[in-house]
Structure 1
C-alpha cells in the first residue's frame, strides 16, 4: 500500500467538518482542526477555487459545501445497488452469528427478499431471494410497516378487516398490529416470534437512505431450537450495527444526539 498524502488528508478533514455544520469560517476551521492559520487559508482557497467550497451568500468570510461535491454525490448515488450493498453487509452479519440473514423491501402489503445469506447449520430457515410474504407476519415487514405514515399504513393494511395469518401466532387484528408497530417505532427493533413459520424466530432493524426514508430492513432468522434470551440480546446489537452500516453505505446520516 502507498502512503497517505498529508495535504489531501487535511483537505478532507476540512470538508468533513461540514457534515456537522452547514457553514464555517476559517477561524472556526482552524480551531476545530488545530492547524496553522496559513495552512487553513491555503486549504480553503484551494477548495474554493475548485468549487468544493463556496462563500456563504451575505457572509463572504464563511463557507459552505459547493456544487462539485453535489455532483460527485449524485454520481455515487446513481451507482448504488441496494441488493449488492445489502448482500455484502449481510455476509458480514452472518459471519458473526452463523444464522440466516435477510434484507427485504416493502411492496404493497408484502415484503420481498432482495438479499439472503444462509447459515452453515444443517437446520436453518428455508427461504429465497425474491420470495414474497405478508409484511405483518414477518420481522422485516413489521419494521417496514412501522416506518409508514398513518395514511400509507391504512392504504396497505385497512382497519376494517382481519389480516391473513401464517401460523397460530400471526397477528391478524389490525388494531393489535398498530399497537405492535408503535412499540417497534419506540424500540427500533422488530421481532417475528414464530409468526411466519412455527419453528423460526427473527429479529429485524431498519435501513435508511440518504433522504432519511426507511427503504429496507435487515433480519437475523434462526430455528426456535437455537433461540434464547442471551442470543436475543446479542443479536439485537448485531442487527442494529449491520443495518446502520448498510444505511451508511446508502448515504444515510443519523441525526446528531
Structure 2
C-alpha cells in the first residue's frame, strides 16, 4: 500500500462515495502500519483525510476488528492480523518456508522472517518470534521501510535498480556489490532501538529472486559468520522447496 492524499473534491466531513470510501480506509490502515499507533488528528493528517471523515472510517474499521482504540489512540486490530496471517499461510512462499524458518530459528536463536516484494513494497510473508520482536515485530503483512536488507538482496540480483529514498546511487551500488560478493546483506539501524538484520535471497524455479529469508537481532549484537551460513542454508532450502511446488513456478 502506498501513502497518498485524498481526492481534491473531498473537503468536507462527509465520507466520499464508492471507491473513495475504500481508498480512505486503506489510507488510514497504511498510516497505522507506518506509525504503529496514533491519535485521530495525526492519522487524519497522515492519510490526507478530513478529521470527521477519518473518525467515521476508524469507527467502522473498529467495528470490523481491523482497528482497535485505546485511550484515544488507534492501532491495527486482531481482525486485520488474522487476515495477514491467513495471507502468509496461503502464500506459496509462506507454505514452503515453514521448515526453513524453523531450522534458521533453531540455529541462530534469533527472530526470523521471510519477506517478498508486493508491488513496490517489501512485505513480511511469515516469520517466527524471537528476541528482536520487542524492537520490531515481524508480522505477516508488515511493510518494511525503504532500504531494508530484503530489498537489497533482491535488488542485487537485478541488472538495474534505482536506489531507495535517502540513498545515493554510489552508496546503493557499493552495498549491492557487497551482497553479490557475500550472498547476504547486513543492515544495521538505530532509529529508536538498535537492530541488525541479515538476509539471503530466495530463488524461484525460474532462477529469479523472489524473496529474502533472514534473521534479526536487537541491540548492538552483530550476526556472526555462522549466522550468515545459516541464512544461506535456509535460503537454499526454501529455493529447493519452491522447485517442488507447482504453484511456485509462477512466482
TM-score by length of structure 2 reads 0.55
CA shift in 2, pair 1:204/1:122, >3 Å: closer
Instruction: Quote how far apart the aligned CAs of 1:80 are.
Output: 8.5
Equivalent residue for 1:194? Answer: 189
Tell whether the 8 Å contact from 2:111 to 2:133 is kept in structure 1 after alignment: no
Shift of 1:112: 0.5
Aligned twin of 1:235: 227
Show the counterpart of 1:174. 169
Question: Distance in 1 between the 2:190 and 2:169 partners?
Answer: 15
Pairwise mapping of residues 96-175 of structure 1 onto structure 2 (< 5 A)?
A: 96-119=107-130, 125-136=136-147, 138-150=148-160, 153-154=161-162, 157=163, 163-164=165-166, 172-175=167-170
Matching residue of 2:243: 251
The alpha-carbon deviation at position 93 of structure 1 amounts to 0.9
Is 87-96 or 241-250 further displaced after alignment?
A: 87-96
CA distance in 2, matches of 1:122, 1:105: 19
Partner of 1:211: 206
What SS does the corresponding residue of 2:144 show, helix, strand or coil? strand
CA-CA distance at 1:198 after TM superposition? 4.4
TM-score (norm 1): 0.54
Give 1:132 shift: 0.8
Contact 1:205 1:239 in 2 (8 A): yes
**Are 1:98 and 1:121, in contact at CA under 8 Å, matched by a contact in 2?**
no
Q: Any stretches of 5+ residues in structure 2 without a counterpart?
A: 1-89, 245-251
Matched residues in 1 for 2:92 and 2:133: separation? 31
CA contact (8 A) 2:101 2:112 kept: yes
Which has the higher Rg, Structure 1 or Structure 2?
A: 1
SS at match of 2:224: helix
Give the deviation of 1:195 after TM superposition.
6.4
Shift of residue 220 of structure 1?
0.3
Counterpart CA distance in 2 for 1:206 and 1:121 is 21
Q: 2:203·2:209 contact (CA, 8 Å) conserved in 1?
A: yes
Rounded to whole Å, the distance in 2 between the matches of 1:208 and 1:193 is 24
Once the two structures are TM-superposed, the CA of residue 235 in structure 1 deviates from its matched residue by 0.2
- Secondary structure, aligned partner of 1:243: helix
Unaligned segments of structure 1, at least 5 residues: 1-78, 165-171, 253-257
Deviations 1:2-36 (A, max 9, x none): xxxxxxxxxxxxxxxxxxxxxxxxxxxxxxxxxxx
RMSD between aligned alpha carbons? 2.6
Cα deviations by residue, 1:99-125 (Å, 9 ceiling, x for unpaired): 110111123442111011111688564
> Paired residue for 1:220?
215
**How many matched pairs?**
155
